[in-house]
Protein backbone atom coordinates (compact mmCIF):
# COMPACT_ATOMS: atom_id res chain seq x y z
CA UNK A 1 0.00 0.00 0.00
CA UNK A 2 1.36 3.38 -0.95
CA UNK A 3 0.79 6.37 1.29
CA UNK A 4 -0.21 9.88 0.43
CA UNK A 5 3.43 11.05 0.60
CA UNK A 6 5.00 8.29 -1.45
CA UNK A 7 8.17 9.03 -3.46
CA UNK A 8 6.40 9.65 -6.75
CA UNK A 9 3.93 12.14 -5.27
CA UNK A 10 6.71 13.97 -3.35
CA UNK A 11 8.69 14.30 -6.59
CA UNK A 12 5.65 15.73 -8.39
CA UNK A 13 5.04 18.25 -5.57
CA UNK A 14 8.73 19.27 -5.62
CA UNK A 15 8.55 19.86 -9.37
CA UNK A 16 5.40 21.98 -9.00
CA UNK A 17 6.96 23.97 -6.11
CA UNK A 18 10.13 24.60 -8.12
CA UNK A 19 8.08 25.77 -11.09
CA UNK A 20 6.04 28.14 -8.91
CA UNK A 21 9.22 29.56 -7.33
CA UNK A 22 10.87 30.10 -10.71
CA UNK A 23 7.69 31.70 -12.04
CA UNK A 24 7.47 34.01 -9.01
CA UNK A 25 11.13 35.02 -9.47
CA UNK A 26 10.52 35.73 -13.14
CA UNK A 27 7.46 37.86 -12.42
CA UNK A 28 9.27 39.71 -9.60
CA UNK A 29 12.27 40.32 -11.86
CA UNK A 30 10.01 41.72 -14.57
CA UNK A 31 8.16 44.06 -12.21
CA UNK A 32 11.18 45.10 -10.10
CA UNK A 33 13.44 45.75 -13.08
CA UNK A 34 12.37 49.40 -13.39
CA UNK A 35 13.38 50.04 -9.74
CA UNK A 36 16.94 51.18 -9.12
CA UNK A 37 18.97 53.36 -6.78
CA UNK A 38 20.22 56.85 -7.56
CA UNK A 39 22.48 59.02 -5.44
CA UNK A 40 22.50 62.80 -5.22
CA UNK A 41 25.50 64.91 -4.19
CA UNK A 42 24.07 68.29 -5.18
CA UNK A 43 22.89 70.59 -2.39
CA UNK A 44 19.88 71.68 -4.46
CA UNK A 45 18.01 68.62 -3.16
CA UNK A 46 18.70 66.55 -0.04
CA UNK A 47 22.03 64.74 -0.41
CA UNK A 48 21.46 61.02 -0.16
CA UNK A 49 20.27 57.80 -1.73
CA UNK A 50 17.05 57.75 -3.77
CA UNK A 51 14.78 55.00 -5.11
CA UNK A 52 14.09 55.47 -8.82
CA UNK A 53 10.90 54.10 -10.40
CA UNK A 54 11.07 54.17 -14.19
CA UNK A 55 7.37 53.38 -14.62
CA UNK A 56 5.92 56.18 -12.49
CA UNK A 57 4.13 59.15 -14.07
CA UNK A 58 5.47 62.23 -12.28
CA UNK A 59 3.37 65.30 -11.62
CA UNK A 60 3.77 68.63 -9.84
CA UNK A 61 5.53 68.22 -6.50
CA UNK A 62 7.13 64.89 -7.45
CA UNK A 63 10.87 64.47 -7.68
CA UNK A 64 12.35 63.15 -10.93
CA UNK A 65 15.71 61.98 -12.22
CA UNK A 66 16.51 63.19 -15.72
CA UNK A 67 19.40 63.36 -18.14
CA UNK A 68 20.91 66.81 -18.15
CA UNK A 69 21.24 68.00 -21.75
CA UNK A 70 24.88 69.07 -21.86
CA UNK A 71 24.72 71.55 -24.74
CA UNK A 72 24.64 74.38 -22.20
CA UNK A 73 28.05 75.91 -21.53
CA UNK A 74 27.64 78.17 -18.51
CA UNK A 75 30.78 79.57 -16.86
CA UNK A 76 29.08 79.42 -13.46
CA UNK A 77 28.89 75.65 -13.65
CA UNK A 78 32.11 74.84 -15.52
CA UNK A 79 34.02 74.64 -12.25
CA UNK A 80 31.53 72.22 -10.71
CA UNK A 81 31.33 68.54 -11.54
CA UNK A 82 27.77 68.43 -12.85
CA UNK A 83 26.25 65.00 -12.76
CA UNK A 84 24.91 63.57 -16.01
CA UNK A 85 21.70 62.80 -14.12
CA UNK A 86 20.01 65.46 -12.04
CA UNK A 87 17.35 65.16 -9.35
CA UNK A 88 14.85 68.00 -9.15
CA UNK A 89 11.27 68.59 -8.09
CA UNK A 90 8.60 69.06 -10.77
CA UNK A 91 7.18 72.57 -10.36
CA UNK A 92 4.88 72.53 -13.41
CA UNK A 93 3.77 70.29 -16.28
CA UNK A 94 2.19 70.69 -19.71
CA UNK A 95 -0.43 73.41 -19.95
CA UNK A 96 1.15 75.65 -17.31
CA UNK A 97 2.05 79.19 -18.36
CA UNK A 98 5.61 80.39 -17.72
CA UNK A 99 6.53 84.05 -17.79
CA UNK A 100 9.76 85.92 -17.08
CA UNK A 101 9.78 89.44 -15.68
CA UNK A 102 13.34 90.73 -15.47
CA UNK A 103 15.24 87.80 -13.97
CA UNK A 104 12.24 86.23 -12.19
CA UNK A 105 10.07 83.35 -13.38
CA UNK A 106 6.39 82.87 -12.67
CA UNK A 107 4.28 79.75 -13.23
CA UNK A 108 0.58 80.41 -13.75
CA UNK A 109 1.13 83.85 -12.22
CA UNK A 110 2.85 82.54 -9.07
CA UNK A 111 6.54 83.41 -8.45
CA UNK A 112 8.92 80.42 -8.51
CA UNK A 113 12.30 82.10 -8.29
CA UNK A 114 14.71 84.66 -9.64
CA UNK A 115 18.12 84.26 -11.20
CA UNK A 116 20.67 86.31 -9.25
CA UNK A 117 22.95 88.65 -11.17
CA UNK A 118 26.05 87.31 -9.42
CA UNK A 119 26.60 83.82 -8.02
CA UNK A 120 27.66 83.27 -4.43
CA UNK A 121 31.11 82.53 -5.85
CA UNK A 122 31.26 86.00 -7.41
CA UNK A 123 30.70 84.96 -11.05
CA UNK A 124 28.34 87.08 -13.15
CA UNK A 125 25.35 84.99 -14.26
CA UNK A 126 24.53 85.90 -17.84
CA UNK A 127 22.77 82.78 -19.11
CA UNK A 128 19.22 82.03 -18.06
CA UNK A 129 16.05 81.10 -19.91
CA UNK A 130 13.44 83.79 -20.51
CA UNK A 131 9.78 83.12 -21.38
CA UNK A 132 7.03 85.47 -22.53
CA UNK A 133 3.64 84.00 -21.56
CA UNK A 134 4.76 80.58 -22.80
CA UNK A 135 2.35 77.65 -22.45
CA UNK A 136 4.27 74.46 -21.69
CA UNK A 137 3.87 71.79 -24.40
CA UNK A 138 2.81 68.20 -23.91
CA UNK A 139 5.41 65.99 -22.23
CA UNK A 140 7.36 68.87 -20.69
CA UNK A 141 8.36 69.60 -17.10
CA UNK A 142 9.56 72.77 -15.39
CA UNK A 143 11.87 71.57 -12.61
CA UNK A 144 13.06 73.48 -9.60
CA UNK A 145 15.69 72.79 -6.96
CA UNK A 146 16.27 74.39 -3.60
CA UNK A 147 18.35 77.57 -3.43
CA UNK A 148 20.57 77.04 -0.39
CA UNK A 149 22.10 80.11 1.27
CA UNK A 150 25.87 79.79 1.30
CA UNK A 151 25.71 76.94 -1.24
CA UNK A 152 24.43 78.73 -4.31
CA UNK A 153 21.52 78.84 -6.67
CA UNK A 154 20.00 75.58 -7.86
CA UNK A 155 20.81 74.68 -11.46
CA UNK A 156 17.26 74.11 -12.72
CA UNK A 157 14.77 75.13 -15.42
CA UNK A 158 15.53 78.79 -14.83
CA UNK A 159 18.95 78.09 -16.38
CA UNK A 160 18.50 75.21 -18.84
CA UNK A 161 14.81 75.40 -19.74
CA UNK A 162 12.22 72.67 -19.80
CA UNK A 163 12.89 68.98 -19.29
CA UNK A 164 11.13 66.70 -21.77
CA UNK A 165 9.68 63.25 -21.17
CA UNK A 166 12.43 61.70 -23.33
CA UNK A 167 15.01 62.96 -20.79
CA UNK A 168 13.15 61.70 -17.70
CA UNK A 169 14.47 58.45 -16.25
CA UNK A 170 11.71 58.21 -13.66
CA UNK A 171 10.21 59.43 -10.43
CA UNK A 172 12.35 59.22 -7.31
CA UNK A 173 11.94 59.17 -3.54
CA UNK A 174 14.54 59.88 -0.86
CA UNK A 175 15.45 56.67 0.97
CA UNK A 176 18.36 57.84 3.07
CA UNK A 177 19.64 61.36 3.60
CA UNK A 178 23.34 61.82 4.29
CA UNK A 179 23.66 64.27 7.17
CA UNK A 180 26.89 66.25 7.43
Inform me whether the pLDDT recorded for 180 exceeds 50: yes
pLDDT recorded at residue 132: 92
Those residues whose C-beta lies under 8 Å from the C-beta of residue 70, and which sit 6 or more positions away, are 82, 84
pLDDT at 81: 45
Per CATH, the architecture of 57-168 is what? Ribbon (2.10)
The partner residues of 16 in beta bridges, in order of sequence, read: none
* Domain spans, the chain: 1-33, 57-168
> Is pLDDT above 90 for 82?
no
Predicted confidence at residue 73, as pLDDT, reads 47
2-59 residue pLDDT tens? 666 788 888 888 888 877 766 665 665 555 556 777 777 777 788 888 888 888 889 9
Asked whether the predicted pLDDT for residue 164 surpasses 60, the reply is: yes
89 against 44, higher pLDDT: 89
Query: Is it the case that residue 133 has pLDDT exceeding 70?
Result: yes
**Alpha carbon distance 69, 82 (integer Å):** 11
Mean pLDDT lowest among 62-71, 111-120, 148-157: 148-157
Give 113's contacts (C-beta < 8 A, 6+ positions apart): 104, 105, 144, 147, 158
Amino acid sequence: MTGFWDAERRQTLRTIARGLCLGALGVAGFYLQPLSLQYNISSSEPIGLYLLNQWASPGPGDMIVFRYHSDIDDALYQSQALQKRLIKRVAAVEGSVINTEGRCHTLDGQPVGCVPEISEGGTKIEHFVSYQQFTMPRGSYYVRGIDTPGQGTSFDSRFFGLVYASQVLGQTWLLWEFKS
